[in-house]
């Protein structure tokens, strides 16, 4: 694995987004399911959402940075 300075922007943005998504979903579980159930099982939906969000961000960055071809 390359050091942080050598990673592309998509991987860095995906990592940051996954952390923010995890925290947001975990915090949203508290009013929805209560503190006890969130402490026990709240990490499951938070982890799934974080992984999906990170992959979506990485895919979007790769899609946007793909080489463009022109049709003449």
Identify which of 11, 19, 16 has the alpha carbon closest to the alpha carbon of residue 58. Answer: 11
Range(s) of the domain holding residue 18: 9-64
**Quick one: pLDDT at residue 64?**
81
In a domain, residue 41? The reply is: yes
The reported pTM is 0.77
Res 18 pLDDT > 90: yes
In a domain, residue 69? The reply is: no
Token pair for 65? 């940075």
In a domain, residue 4? The reply is: no
CA distances from residue 3 to 7, 11, 19, 52 in whole angstroms, order as listed: 7, 12, 19, 23
Res 1 pLDDT > 80: no
Q: Tell me the Ramachandran region of residue 34: left when phi exceeds 0, alpha when psi lies from -120 to 50, beta otherwise.
A: left
Res 42 pLDDT > 70: yes
In a domain, residue 48? The reply is: yes
């Amino acid at each position: 694995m390359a050091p942080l300075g050598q990673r592309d922007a998509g991987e860095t943005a995906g990592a940051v987004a996954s952390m923010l998504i995890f925290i947001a979903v975990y915090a949203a579980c508290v009013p929805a399911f209560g503190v006890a159930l969130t402490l026990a099982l709240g990490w499951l939906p938070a982890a799934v959402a974080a992984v999906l969000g990170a992959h979506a961000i990485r895919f979007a960055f790769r899609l946007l940075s793909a080489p463009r071809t022109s049709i003449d």
